[in-house]
Amino acid sequence: MKIIFLGAPGAGKGTQAAIVSQKLSIPTISTGEIIRESVRNETPLGKTAKELIEKGELVPDNLVIELVRNRISQDDCKNGFILDGFPRTIEQAKALSEMGVDIDAVVNIFVSDADIIRRMGGRRTCSKCSATYHTLYNPSAKGECCEKCGEKLSVRADDSPETVKKRLEVYHRQTQPLEDYYNDLGKLVTVVGQEKLEDTTRLTLEALKVND
């Protein structure tokens, strides 16, 4: 299957993508993760992206499109993949279609802005294996360390309240038009994000017609 996870920053795309990826044995491609890794490794992409990410703005379309084009041509994507955080603009969606990618479903996770702002303060991430936790809703069994690899957990540079507000504004202006774009193509399914992760997972699997 080829699936896109759409939704505002912090709606739970990465969390659900990780579960569906394991269930369907297909990789998740998170453009945000790849860009953050490029920033850590100080690659040319990372150098361009660093300031934009920290301000809550999008990285230029051409750079992200090339990144995805290369990634989906790799062997592990032959049987399908999940795109988490791509496309984020109409231009990116058109480029994906021009790559000949036939998407099976676009899962739009809806969470209100107020709930997102409340949630983001508690997110903790592992910079080594990319696992995501929440201090209240999804704590690591190892407290302040990652339960998968033991690395110390951290707060993402773009999770400060001002940057989250800016990311939401960018989302509504540049990414939300994709809901109509994919709805018109008959691909959009909307899942209302729930208080409990497992409830959102159940609704996501139902929307994808995948057995729990």
Binding site for ligand AP5 (CB under 6 A): 7, 9-15, 31-32, 35, 52-53, 56-59, 64, 85-86, 88, 92, 119, 122-123, 132-134, 137-138, 158, 167, 193-195, 197, 200
Residue type (1 letter), 126: C
- 123 belongs to the catalytic site: yes
Q: What is the C-alpha separation between 194 and 167, in angstroms, rounded? A: 21
| Catalytic choice (156, 165, 187, 202) | 156
Question: Of the listed 13, 36, 50, 124, which one is catalytic?
Answer: 13
Nearer to ligand AP5, 117 or 197 (CB): 197
Cβ atoms of 109 and 197 within 8 Å: the answer is: no
Q: Is 124 a catalytic residue?
A: no
CA–CA distance, 86 with 115 (Å, rounded to integer): 22
Q: Which helix (H) or strand (E) holds 13?
A: helix 13-24
Of the pair 182, 193, the CB lying nearest ligand AP5 is at: 193
- As to burial, measured by CB atoms within 10 angstroms (0-12 exposed, 13-18 middle, 19+ buried), residue 129 is exposed
- Cα separation, 127 vs 11, in Å, equals 20
User: Closest approach of Cβ 137 to ligand AP5, in Å?
Assistant: 4
Minimum distance of ligand AP5 from residue 132's CB (angstroms):
4
The H-assigned helical ranges of 73-196 are 90-98, 113-120, 161-170, 177-184
Structure tokens given for 60: 């230029």
Nearer to ligand AP5, 26 or 153 (CB): 153
Cβ contact 191:207 at 8 Å:
yes
Q: Residue 209 CB, nearest distance to ligand AP5 (Å)?
A: 21
Which residue of the set 123, 152, 173, 196 is catalytic?
A: 123
Q: Which of 112, 154, 118 is nearest to 136 (CA)?
A: 118
Annotated active-site residue 13? The verdict is yes
**Annotation says 166 is catalytic:** no
CB of 156 to ligand AP5, least distance (A): 7
Given the residues 36, 88, 119, 124, the one annotated as active site: 88
The answer to whether 36 is a known catalytic residue is no
121 near 115, Cβ under 8 Å? no
- CB of residue 163 vs ligand AP5: minimum separation in angstroms? 8
Residues annotated as catalytic (active site), given as ranges: 13, 88, 123, 156, 167
